[in-house]
Chains A and B, each alone.
Chain A
Amino acid sequence: MVTGIPENHIVRAIFEGLAVKNPYTLEPEPGVAESWDISEDGRIVTFHINPEAKWSNGDPMSAHDYVWSWQRLLSPAMGAEYNYMLFPVKNAKAFATGEITDFDQVGVKALDDLTLQVTLNERTPYFIQLMDHYSTFAVHRPTIEKFGKATDRYTPWTRVENIVSNGAFRLKTWALNRRIEVEKSDTYWDRDNVKLNGVVFYPTENVVSEERMFRVGQLHYTNSIPLGKIPLYREMENSPYVQAPYLGTYFFLLNTTRPPLDDVRVRKALSMAVDRETLNKTVLKGSNVPAYSITPPDTLGYYPPQLFGYDVARARELLAEAGYPDGQGWPGLELTYNTSEDHRKIAVALQQMWKDALNIEVTLTNQEWKVYLDSVTQMNFQIARRGWIGDYVDPNNFLDLYLTGGGNNNTGFSDARYDDMILHQAPQAATREERFDIFYRAETLLMEQMPIIPIYTYTSKHLIHPSVNGLPPNLMDSLNLKYVWLDRNWQPEQAGD
């Protein structure tokens, strides 16, 4: 079990889900399942597993593998972080929280070796997408059981010499903090279409070092790029710099339970006084897209409402109405962010924007990551920097954050109408348009209360060597190495993340 974005690439290289996202269109296409049917009411999904799909030790893949793997994922003892990915499945949540202990009641059934039937609580349009999330991948039961109980986390089944996987590649070397190498798998069902012989991943915490490695030709592909370097690369001919919209939003949480942020006018004033365009153009080197709401634009065709813009005059009015004309009587405000160069830059810029526009003082506090997480979870802050990266392409993934008492709400925002729209109305919607309309109204409701200050929509930022092909930018920053190929005129295949 691994978490975090970079590890994600490796897991997805050596494992494959029932369905995979096409890197160009992000539409699901066959993975382990060669096809799937969805019932009329959308509640029953039947996967037909590709008879050619094999584990790397040659064992054929079966529907039973999924039943067992998902049971493992949902077992309370496992403590899997992403078990909620399967919560759309009937009774999955109840099983995961221990309310029921009989897995047969959960809506997962192997009809035969190659047919997997999944029963959902309700229509879940994004369910097929979830099959490409690594938490829903099947794992090889005999291997895991060889090294312990199904739910033991601390067993050596993931070692190079032990692991059995089912992806286009298989693990070759795992040198901690040094590099991870994968090589083309000869048991993969679609092996004829896999063009790379292998990939080397270099783990790095340091984006500056990564850029240098790329520059001297030690890498073909970087996970990111230092902000300061963007203009340089952008101006290059045949620029290796590739920037594309990314399903994520950068925003600030406002603690609505504490004054002065318990006043919606203050929250709005703060949000309106932020000049997102200038911030993005200057400090952020035009590397992102200004955001005015929580859901990224064009999330599977959904566009969020924009209720406000940069409006200093209105912001000052609002602040005056709230009792702080020209910042008089301002009690002070503390902005918390986790330690990072880029977060600091944004916070410093915002601090000054608020000072200039509203004549109010905001102090900054940076906190070490775990301390910051603690503060956010405990709601022990006034304003806190936050980002959310979608797990699947659907507005729901962003909008369900602000359900009353939601684990990621952290703002104190609570509105029964909003909860109703997200939890009940949207799933009932018959069409995508109707559903999006409900989301749009819910999001309008949310942004009228302004429990967050959206700043920008993320972009994915990579340096990609010109010899690399088949790495199209996409909203999920989804890297499907199966599609990647190298121009033979170039050097050995390597990739970094």
Chain B
Amino acid sequence: MWRFIGIRLLQAIPVILVVITVTFFLVRMAPGGPFDSEKPVTREVKAALEAQYKLDLPLYQQYFSYLGDLAHGDLGPSFKYSGRSVNELIAAGFPVTAELGLYALLVALGIGCLAGIAAALRPNTPQDYIPMSAAMIGICMPSFLLGPLLVLVFGIYLDWLPVSGWGDIPGDKILPSLTLGSAYAAYIARLSRAGMLEVLNQDYIRTARAKGLPQWQVVLKHSLRGGMIPVVAFLGPAFAGLLAGSFVVETIFQIPGLGRFYVQAAFNRDYTMILGTTVFLSVLIVLFNLLSDILAAWMNPRLRAQYGK
């Protein structure tokens, strides 16, 4: 098991290195610099600014100096938020995004699994069609549409929940989590339906039924584990997607998360912030993919034994 994790982590190093390199040069190639603004500054001012952030050095020197800092875990100063380091900004934004992502994932798992299992138990009946149609809409409903809709209904017309914020007013975490989680709930519903259908057709389910077990026990004790494996395998990519895709929701609900920092950084050409966030997210994506693979393997005793060697 540890060997397997070790190999995967080793494999991740070149991936992340390439990501850093490509991103580094990509952001530099994009037109407009961090200090361009609507009221352009004089050439002298710009030169002074660039000198302050070492942007006056040759690009390759900047690159290696960045890599050197990175090796020490230093992501550099933010260009946009003067006086703040990228590490600090990520430390401020990430917990929020992670929490949002976690709740969204819980929403997605809760709704998705229930709908998927319900559909799988009675395939090709309304109990199947209705949640699956909803799932289809859920997958394709963009969050820039779903978020405002939920806000209008629950925040404004019904006046049940706050329309924005994060941790400021009780209940303000509900709508963002729902908005972000719904698309993934839909995917999970489809995955768990397919997974459960597959498992329910297995011989060992027949064995369980031949033992005289009632339906709910057959589902809970015998089908769930196998049926959920595809869902678990999807969790890694899903969580990565949630992290990367949370900026729309963060913007709609005024949430001070990493996604918003990231997009602002991209618009501001905050080079160090873009790079820092990209590196951070790609490490996270690698880790979560690994975690979900391990979890999926752990759920399958046979694979568990294989990796255990």
Q: Establish whether residues B166 and A83, one from each chain, have CB atoms under 8 Å apart when the complex forms.
A: no
Q: A209-B164, A370-B36 are in contact. Are A155 and B83 (CB under 8 A)?
A: yes
Contact B267 A218 (CB under 8 A): no
Report yes or no: A377 in contact with B93, Cβ–Cβ below 8 A: no
Q: Does A420 contact B (CB under 8 A)?
A: no
> Which of A175-183, A280-288, A313-321, A353-361 contacts its partner?
A175-183
Contact at B40–A407, with CB atoms within 8 Å? yes
Answer whether residue B201 sits at the interface, using C-beta atoms and an 8 A cutoff.
no
Nearest Cβ on chain A to B156's Cβ, whole angstroms: 6
**A257 in the interface, Cβ–Cβ < 8 Å?**
no
Report yes or no: A216 in contact with B155, Cβ–Cβ below 8 A: yes
A445 interface contact, C-beta 8 A: no
Q: Which of A73-81, A113-121, A234-242, A267-275 contacts B (4 or more CB under 8 A)?
A: A73-81
B163/A218 in contact, CB under 8 A: yes
Q: Is B49 interfacial (CB-CB < 8 Å)?
A: yes
In the complex, per-residue mask of A191-225: 1 if CB is within 8 Å of any chain B CB, else 0: 00000000000111110110011011010000000
The verdict on A490 contacting chain B, using a C-beta distance below 8 Å, is: no
Stretch of A12-20, A47-55, A122-130, A156-164 contacting B (4+ beta carbons < 8 Å) = A156-164
Interface contacts (Cβ under 8 Å), in number, total: 141
Instruction: Mark interface residues in A134-162 (1 if CB within 8 Å of B CB, else 0).
Output: 00000000000000000111111111000
Residue B203 lies at the interface, judged by CB distance under 8 Å to chain A:
no
The answer to whether A213 touches B32, judged by C-beta atoms less than 8 angstroms apart, is no
CA of A216 to CA of B269, assembled, Å:
35
**Provided the pairs A78-B48, A176-B89, A216-B155 are in contact, do residues A373 and B267 lie with their beta carbons within 8 angstroms?**
no
Binary contact track A357-398/B, C-beta < 8 Å → 1, others 0:
000000000001111011101000000000100000000000
Q: Is B73 an interface residue (CB 8 A)?
A: no
The contact string, 1 if C-beta is below 8 Å from chain A, for chain B 134-156, is 00000000000000100100011
Q: Place the interface of chain B in its size category.
A: 35 or more
Across the interface, do A407 and B42 meet the contact criterion of CB distance under 8 Å? yes
Q: Is B31's CB within 8 Å of the partner chain A?
A: yes
| A59 CB, nearest partner CB in chain B, Å | 21
Chain A residues with CB under 8 Å of B268's CB are 370
Residues of B within 8 A of A206 (CB): 251-252, 254
- Whole-angstrom distance between the Cβ of A160 and the nearest chain B Cβ: 11
Chain A: minimal CB distance from B171 (Å):
12
Q: Is the CB of B261 within 8 A of A212?
A: no
A97 interface hit (Cβ, 8 Å): yes
Mask: chain B, 53-95; 1 = CB below 8 Å from A; 0 = not: 1000000000000000000000001000111100001001100
Contacting A177 at CB < 8 Å: which of B30, B168, B260?
B260
Is B51 positioned at the interface, with any CB of A under 8 Å from its CB?
yes
A177 with B83: CB separation less than 8 A: no
A332 within 8 A of B: no
* A253 CB to nearest chain B CB (Å): 12
Q: What string of 1s and 0s marks CB contacts (under 8 Å) between B14-36 and chain A?
A: 00000000000000001111011
Q: In the bound complex, do residue B163 and residue A79 qualify as a contact, i.e. CB atoms below 8 Å apart?
A: no
- Point out the residues of chain B lying under 8 angstroms from A157, CB to CB: 83
- Which residues in B have their C-beta under 8 angstroms from that of A177? 93, 255-257, 260-261, 264
Cβ contact within 8 Å between B52 and A209:
no
Partner of A212, one of B33, B42, B156, B168: B156
Given the known interface contacts A154-B77, A368-B267, the answer about A373 and B37 at a Cβ–Cβ threshold of 8 Å is: yes
Docked pose: A151 CA to B155 CA in angstroms = 47
C-alpha gap A177/B250 in the complex (Å): 10
A213-B164 CB under 8 A given contacts A177-B260, A408-B39: yes
Mark A52-81 against chain B: 1 for CB-CB distance below 8 A, else 0.
000000000000000000000000111111
What distance in Å separates the Cβ of A188 from its nearest Cβ neighbour in chain B?
24
Residue of A nearest to B169 (CB): A218
Does A84 lie at the interface of the complex (its beta carbon under 8 Å from any beta carbon of B)? yes
A81 & B45 in contact (Cβ 8 Å cutoff) = yes
Determine if B1 is an interface residue (Cβ-Cβ < 8 Å): no
Interface check B165, CB cutoff 8 A: yes
Q: A158-176 CB contact bits vs B (8 Å, 1 = yes)?
A: 1100000000000000011
Question: Do the beta carbons of B254 and A209 come within 8 Å of each other?
Answer: yes
Contact present for B38 and A373 (CB under 8 Å): yes
User: Is B40 a contact of A1 with CB atoms below 8 Å?
Assistant: no
Taking the nearest CB of chain A, how far is it from the CB of B159, in angstroms? 7
Q: Which of B51, B77, B162, B256 contacts A178 (CB 8 A)?
A: B256
> Is B252 a contact partner of A216 (Cβ separation < 8 A)?
no
- Give min CB distance, A216 to chain B, whole Å: 5
Q: How far is B40's CA from A368's CA once the two chains are assembled, in angstroms?
A: 17
Assembled-state Cα–Cα distance A314/B91 (Å): 62
Cα distance, A208 to B251, chains bound together (Å): 10
B44 near A97 (CB under 8 angstroms)?
Answer: yes
Q: Mark A67-109, 1 if CB is under 8 A from B, else 0.
A: 0000000001111110110000000000011100000000000
In the complex, are the beta carbons of A79 and B151 less than 8 A apart?
no
Q: Is B41 an interface residue (CB 8 A)?
A: yes
- Contact string, B91-125, partner A, CB cutoff 8 A, digits 1/0? 01100000000000000000000000000000000
Q: Establish whether residues A84 and B42, one from each chain, have CB atoms under 8 Å apart when the complex forms.
A: yes
**Residue A3 lies at the interface, judged by CB distance under 8 Å to chain B:** yes
A77/B156 in contact, CB under 8 A: no
| Docked complex Cα distance between A78 and B44 (Å) | 10
B257 cross-chain contacts in A, Cβ below 8 A: 177
CA distance A407 to B39 in the complex (A): 8
Establish whether residues B37 and A3, one from each chain, have CB atoms under 8 Å apart when the complex forms: yes
CB-based contact A175/B256 at 8 Å: yes
Write out the residue numbers on chain A whose beta carbons fall within 8 Å of the beta carbon of B163: 209, 212-213, 215-216, 218
- B48 near A79 with CB under 8 A, answer yes
Partner of B32, one of A175, A203, A370, A387: A370
Given contacts A202-B254, A205-B251, A216-B162, 20 further A-B contacts (CB under 8 A): A2-B82, A77-B51, A79-B35, A81-B41, A97-B42, A151-B52, A152-B52, A153-B82, A154-B77, A205-B260, A215-B156, A215-B163, A216-B155, A216-B159, A216-B163, A218-B162, A370-B31, A370-B267, A374-B31, A377-B40
- What are 15 A-B interface contacts by the 8 Å CB criterion? A77-B48, A79-B51, A81-B45, A83-B45, A154-B52, A176-B84, A176-B256, A209-B163, A212-B156, A212-B163, A216-B162, A370-B31, A370-B269, A371-B31, A407-B42
